[in-house]
């Protein structure tokens, strides 16, 4: 799935994109339980979208990482579409910012030998 094809209120979103920006982490309390949230910006070859990171997902992700969203949901906040993994979705880091380039070079060198 491509970012340009995402629509507000769309569920079951599966996509892979690069994290280009992570905003400030905000703390909140809901139903007496503390939580954390941060907005990130992700991009693919077709566009960019805000990604809402919740709690432990904030610590998983760094700028430059490639993430895979499975069963995500597109909502809207103050007129801006935002993608979230929500309660039923999943966020995975599939390539780390620092490791991605090094691994591909190492793999190519190994193949040539």
What whole-number distance in Å separates Cα of residue 36 and Cα of residue 44? Answer: 26
Residues of the chain with pLDDT under 70: 99-113
The confidence score (pLDDT) of residue 86 equals: 83
What whole-number distance in Å separates Cα of residue 6 and Cα of residue 13? Answer: 8
Rg from Cα positions in the chain: 16
The confidence score (pLDDT) of residue 20 equals: 98
CATH number of 3-112: 2.40.50.140
Per-residue burial over 13-28, b = 16 or more CB atoms within 10 Å of its CB, e = otherwise:
bebebbbeebeeeeee
- Could you give the 3-state DSSP secondary structure of residue 85? coil
- Could you give the 3-state DSSP secondary structure of residue 16? strand
Per residue in 82-105, pLDDT (tens digit) is 999 988 999 999 999 876 444 444
The confidence score (pLDDT) of residue 7 equals: 96
Give me the phi and psi of 92, to 5 degrees please: -125, 140
What whole-number distance in Å separates Cα of residue 98 and Cα of residue 31? Answer: 38
The confidence score (pLDDT) of residue 99 equals: 64
Q: Tell me if 40 sits within 8 A of 86, measured CB to CB.
A: no
């Amino acid at each position: 799935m491509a970012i340009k094809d995402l629509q507000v209120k769309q569920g079951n979103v599966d996509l892979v994109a690069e994290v280009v920006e992570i905003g400030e982490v905000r703390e909140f309390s809901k139903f007496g339980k503390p939580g954390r949230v941060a907005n990130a910006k992700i991009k693919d070859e077709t566009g960019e979208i805000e990604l809402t990171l919740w709690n432990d997902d904030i610590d998983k992700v760094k700028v430059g990482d490639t993430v895979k969203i499975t069963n995500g949901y597109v909502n809207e906040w103050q007129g801006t579409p935002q993608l979230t993994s929500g309660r039923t979705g999943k966020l995975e880091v599939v390539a780390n910012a620092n490791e991605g380039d090094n691994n591909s070079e190492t793999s190519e060198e190994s193949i040539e030998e």
